[in-house]
Structure 1
Amino acid sequence: MAPNQMAKLLQSGVLLRFDLTVNELLQRIVETARHVIGAQYAALAVLDDEGGIAHFVYAGLSKEDADRIGELPKGRGVLGLIIHEGKVLRLRDVRQHPKAWGFPPHHPIMRSFLGVPIFVNGKPYGRLYMTEKQGGKTFTKRDEELAKLLAAQAGAAIERAMLTERVRQAERLKRLNELLSTLNRLTDEQAILAAILAGVQKALPFAEASLCLYRAADDTFSGCVATPSGRLSQLHERWRRRPIAATRTPFLPCVRERRSVRVNDLVTPRTPFERWLQRKGFRSFIGTPISVDGEVLGLLFVAADYANAFSDDDHAFLSAVAEHAAATLKNARLLTQLQEKERVRGLLLNKVVTAQEEERRRIAHELHDQTGQLLTALLIQLQLLERELRDERRRERVSNLRRLADSIAQNLHHIAWELRPPSLDELGLTAALERMVSDWSERFQIPCDLVLDSEGDLSVSPEIAIGIYRIVQEALTNVAKHAKATRAKVTLQRADRVLRVVVEDNGVGFDPSAILRHPDETKRLGLVGMMERAAMLSGRLTVDSHPKRGTKVVLEVPLTTIPVRDDRQGGVADAPSQQRPVATA
């Protein structure tokens, strides 16, 4: 073996590289073989499980020449001989061999030939070929020995690279799963983008990363998040103020064809963005579209300072992140849209309910102040008429009319009270609930307790007071109509700045989920309306009920403070934490 050949082998560093992927190592092996053996062309055929060619790597032939040749070798002829026999083959002129298959059109003429097998972990892995010894010579015995040594060392290097790649893939998969798990828990768009950037930066610490949002309306990218204090973050600041047109970047395939753009060595920039990258010292980059259902939402971009910085695994990792990021971002935007619709719906519902309450108040006042007064005047006149009449039969008829008018007045008063109880505006929530519970119990002959956790009245805003009142009113109406209960209880509790209202009974119970799913709204027991009122109060309403086990309706309303009005002294004081029965019927 010539000393200069051994020196070339050692200088190539093929056996000392631990940072190459398997594909990168295979390319390095054929380039080293061509350089060390002194051949014009070199190639390596990786075998599949059936002994055919699964992967073919070459050196010495330009991509344009390879494209003109067409399909890669199939393993026939002399190549097939080495594949199947697994022996070293050295020929002066491969064209003269009996197994020679010939060359396809546009294939360069090759005469001298040297092929050696490569074994990995004791099993056939591939075949290393060299053709056209430089200077028109033939391959020598020394070349053969050196090729065998190179093949042996290449086998060890491939085995090490395969193990390293498996470890790297396992680590990359772990990081990908961690990132996806984090994304699955997020619903805020900015938090999602920040998590994606952090995950990519952790997986590719040698690169700078950024995320850009894409606007199809004007075909532009705008800066969103980038590696802190990095060069890309400076660019993003400019893009936030003035988005860049997609045509001024190399990422048109990302938005037009939904495919990634990868540049391994930025030698000749073609767009203003690439020229900026080159001026800032970047040599390689990958841009991956974040798209879902044919819609491009943005771009995941990474760049490094040296050529060929990104492997196929890096590319696959970024594609997986971008795919999941697209779904997460779309879900976050849909959730934001839904929340906005719910917010608008809540505002509209609040306006409707407020208008209803104002109309209730107006009708109640008119019934009380106008119709009620007229009925009172009628009662007085009937009473006077009854006294003046001497005829017993006529006095009895007038007496009946007076009693009927009195009954009408009482019913009218009850209707006005239910429309808008005056005590709710004049005395507060507690007094209104006391009156409601007492009247309800007397009307339906069902004993009902009202229990408070403090002395005095819980002073809340009028909006919260009427909301709580209506929910309790609806819950008690359900008890009277459907529960067949023999007892009920209404409880108001204060805990951790939350007002908790509970309406419970010992009735027959029901299945809340089945009731809420009922197609007839009139059969839903007003639960939807109660829940909507609770939501308007920024609260939550739950119904705990089972057949034959009674029902418990729980309303929780958040309150910053719940002061207590001391009506006897006209002041406000904190309520002691104790329970007392307020009304029992």
Structure 2
Amino acid sequence: MGCEEESGCDPSLAGIEAVSAAVLAMSRHLEVREVLRRITASARELLGAQYAALGVPDDHGGFAQFVVDGVSDEQWRAIGPLPRQHGVLATMLHELTPTRLTDVRTAAAFGGWPQAHPEMTDFLGMPIVDDGEIVGALFLANKDGGFTDHDEELLRILVAHAALALANARLYERSRELTLAGERSRIAHDLHDAVSQKLFSLRLTAKAAATLVDRDPARARAELAEVAKLAAEAADELRAVVIELRPAALEEDGLVATLASQVQVLDRAHSATVTFTADGVRALPAAQESALLRVAQEALHNALRHAGAGAVTVRLTGTDRRGARLRIADDGRGFDPESVRRAGRHLGLVSMRDRAEGVGGRLTLDSAPGAGTVVEMEVPGA
């Protein structure tokens, strides 16, 4: 919504509204790469520039990440390797002040660009500073009429918020790494507790059967039947763990198909009946789909491994706000959430809540001893 000349609205108010819209767009994302893309696109749209780029430096004279907006994928591939920290780009990464040029090609530091690089003239660059350290630089080029003092001030405000958004995204990714480490630890614990114990029992039972073959064939046959049963249970446990470890095919198949496939395998692998239904689900941002899948996996793990459930239902539905709601309900033994919290046993609840909050969603849990458990998670969508 712009500020038309005929309407008589205050141009400065329009600028504030535009910055606000850009900040909100940035804050909706938590993955570093997506935050960088959103910052770059928001800056180009805010100032009406033809091109925008954002570079995050590495420690070796290059860029750890470099994103562009206004350049097609074909053009970007033709340009070639990522730029080095030289010329005007290097200046932006070592000075805390912005750089505004009427023609970047006439700058003393200009060192040329690759043959396929688009032609650029007027230029505005702004360092992204976090706690006194330059963590990146935002570049804009080619605006009708050139960049103004007002543009520079708007970009300064945007970049301040961009630094916070980038810092939050990095903290989120670090938190996710720690969560994954915790999940690996839990899976290792499950392997030891479930599979290792069954294999140990299988070994003892097989030895017992071997000693009974000659003197008591009937008992030996019974022991061998137990061996077969234990082997099947161990195989089921291993299969379930492999499902959790296997990378989800979200990018190829989408959330609905991926969840349906995993539920189908779990239904075959466990004695409990596990069902899945979906209705009216639209495509969601990748981070939200990943969070929904991981929460579903955690809730299913609790229901099938700890709750002694005989039936588990998984339902995914679209919401009126273009988001989605996930519901996992089981008829297991249930528990008192407050008692579990006081005892320091989390059953993955902290991880599930962190995942939901990390993508702007919310998670609720309803359980009581003997009454089963219901886990619900809702995400806002795009």
Q: TM-score range by the shorter chain?
A: 0.5 to 0.7
| SS of residue matched to 1:39 | coil
1:336-389 superposed Cα distances (whole Å, 9 cap, x missing partner): xxxxxxxxxxxxxxxxxxxxxxxxxxxxxxxxxxxxxxxxxxxxxxxxxxxxxx
Q: Does 1:190 align with 2:190?
A: no
What is the match of residue 81 of structure 1?
A: 91
Match of 1:30 in 2: 40
Aligned with residue 266 of structure 2, among 225, 232, 243: 225
Change (3 A) 1:311 1:84: farther
Which residues of 2 match residues 191-340 of structure 1 at below 5 A? 191-197=237-243, 207=255, 209=258, 224-225=265-266, 228-231=274-277, 305-309=283-287
1:103 maps to amino acid: W
What TM-score, normalized by structure 1, do the two folds share? 0.36
Q: Which of 158, 163, 166 is the aligned partner of 1:158?
A: 166
Q: Kindly indicate whether the alpha-carbon contact (under 8 Å) linking 2:128 and 2:138 is maintained by their aligned counterparts in 1.
A: yes
Are positions 1:143 and 2:142 aligned together? Answer: no
Query: 2:180 corresponds to which residue?
Result: 172
Q: 1 CA distance for matches of 2:38 and 2:145? A: 24
User: Where does residue 102 of structure 1 map in the other structure?
Assistant: 112
Alpha-carbon distance between aligned partners in 2 of 1:142 and 1:157, rounded to the nearest angstrom? 23
Report % sequence identity: 32
C-alpha distance in structure 2 between counterparts of 1:96 and 1:176, whole Å: 55
Could you report, residue by residue, the CA deviation over 1:468-498 in whole angstroms, capped at 9, with x for unpaired residues?
xxxxxxxxxxxxxxxxxxxxxxxxxxxxxxx
Q: Which residue does 1:118 correspond to in 2?
A: 128
Unaligned runs of 5+ in 1: 214-222, 233-279, 284-304, 318-585
> What is the CA distance between 1:127 and its match in structure 2?
0.6
Distance 1:19 1:192, change over 3 A: farther
| Alpha-carbon distance between aligned partners in 2 of 1:225 and 1:9, rounded to the nearest angstrom | 48
1:140-539, aligned counterparts within 5 Å?
140-184=148-192, 185-186=194-195, 188-197=234-243, 207=255, 209=258, 224-225=265-266, 228-231=274-277, 305-309=283-287
The Cα of 1:224 is off from its aligned counterpart by: 3.1
- Residue 55 in 1 paired to residue 65 in 2? yes
Deviations 1:399-442 (A, max 9, x none): xxxxxxxxxxxxxxxxxxxxxxxxxxxxxxxxxxxxxxxxxxxx
Q: Give 1:146 shift.
A: 1.0
Alignment root-mean-square deviation, CA: 3.6
CA distance 1:310–1:196, change in 2 (3 Å)? farther
Residue 93 of structure 1 corresponds to which residue in structure 2? 103
- The whole-number CA distance in structure 2 between the counterparts of 1:112 and 1:106 is 19
Q: Which structure would you say has the larger Rg? A: 1
| Cα displacement (A) at 1:56 | 0.6
Distance 1:92 1:33 in 2: 18
**1:163 to partner: Cα distance:** 2.0
Question: In 2, Cα distance between the equivalents of 1:105 and 1:70?
Answer: 10
Consecutive unaligned residues of structure 2, counting only runs of 5 or more, are 1-10, 200-233, 268-272, 295-382
Q: Is the 8 A contact 2:61 2:84 kept in 1?
A: no
1:69-117 Cα shifts (integer Å, max 9, x gaps): 1112112221122223343100111111122112211111111110001
Q: 1:180 to 1:14 in 2, by over 3 A?
A: farther
> Secondary structure of the residue that 2:176 maps to in structure 1?
helix
